[in-house]
Amino acid sequence: MSVDCMNVKPGVEVAGLSDVGCQRENNEDSYLYWEPAGAKEFQRKGRLAVIADGMGGHEGGQEASRLAVETVREVYDQSFHDDPQAALVDSFSTAHARIQDYAEQHPAFQGMGTTCTALALCGRQLYFAHVGDSRLYLIRDARILRLTRDHSYVGRLVESGIVRPEDAEKHPQRHILTAALGAGRELAVDCAEQPVNLIEGDDLLLCTDGLWSVVTEAELEAAVTANPPAECCDILVKLARQRGGPDNITLQVLRIGADSKP
């Protein structure tokens, strides 16, 4: 298990880690961090981070999450939008169609799909798009705020007031998704209505349910606040494994520095 400390342009510190966990044979999670090489494109598109948790059997889940993160990067890179939010939504639509096309061409992978959560960071403005139950958190001043909502059966019960938020993580049906890339004909992408303005010292945490289902939000906040991103990734994965690691565990941490403005 080796933390991926990304080589990034000044202004942001980034680290990521993915672990198979303790009870799975294959890792069906995928993630990436990307930024344009050229200064002009970097000025326009900023930085991109993506995380995905595949489903549909070992190979199907792996392929779905890989297709998702690679397609989001490719479409976002090639987009001519001046609006990063619109580019993210377009990239999700393309990934959704590609996963469905792949399943049609490979009948053994029928039912494959994936969660996907992606963020674009342009200067200190945060944009994001989201489908499924992977999560994006903002940690500021020792407080943690979840920016995404879970597209899951239990998530609906929480929103309806039937299940208390503190009971949701242990609910026996918490893994049933109501939306995923590759699943269903229509795709509804959650996204920020307005970009989120970040400040120096903010931390962003992307993670799959293999982490948040066994580690509390208070513990996530404490680990991110007290440690550099690379050490934080290592600490949180080890904590999830100590609690049984029932699923693949994947996270990325981005810390906003003093020079993050383009």
3-state SS of the chain is CCCEECCCCCCEEEEEEEECCCCCCCCCEEEEEECCCCHHHHHHHCEEEEEEEEECCHHHHHHHHHHHHHHHHHHHHHCCCCCHHHHHHHHHHHHHHHHHHHHHHCHHHCCCEECEEEEEEECCEEEEEEECCCEEEEEECCEEEECCCCCEHHHHHHHCCCCCHHHHCCCCCCCCECCCECCCCCCCCEECCCCEECCCCCEEEEECHHHHCCCCHHHHHHHHHHCCHHHHHHHHHHHHHHCCCCCCEEEEEEEECCCCCC
pLDDT score of 66 more than 90: yes
By C-alpha distance, which of 224, 236, 203, 226 is closest to 12?
A: 203
pLDDT tens sequence across 201-225 = 999 999 999 999 999 999 999 999 9
Residue 158 has pLDDT above 90, yes or no: no
25 lies in a domain? yes
User: Residue 139 domain-assigned?
Assistant: yes
Distance in angstroms (rounded) separating the CA atoms of residues 132 and 144: 20
Would 107 be classed as within a structural domain? Answer: yes
33 in Cβ contact with 118 (< 8 Å) = no
Domain count, the chain: 1
Nearest Cα residue to 260 out of 125, 128, 139, 124: 124
Return the pLDDT at 170.
Answer: 62
For the cut 60, the answer to whether the pLDDT of residue 148 exceeds it is yes
| Domain presence at residue 261 | no
> What range defines the domain where residue 222 resides?
4-256
Domain-embedded: residue 231: yes
Q: What's the CATH number where 142 sits?
A: 3.60.40.10
Question: Position of tokens 């066994």?
Answer: 214
CA distance 249 to 169: 15
Is 31 within the bounds of a domain? yes
Residue 262 located in a structural domain: no
Categorize the per-residue pLDDT at 81 as very low, low, confident or very high, splitting at 50, 70 and 90. confident
Give the pLDDT score at 3: 74
User: Tens of pLDDT along 164-196?
Assistant: 665 556 655 556 788 899 988 888 899 988 999
CA distance 46 to 105: 35
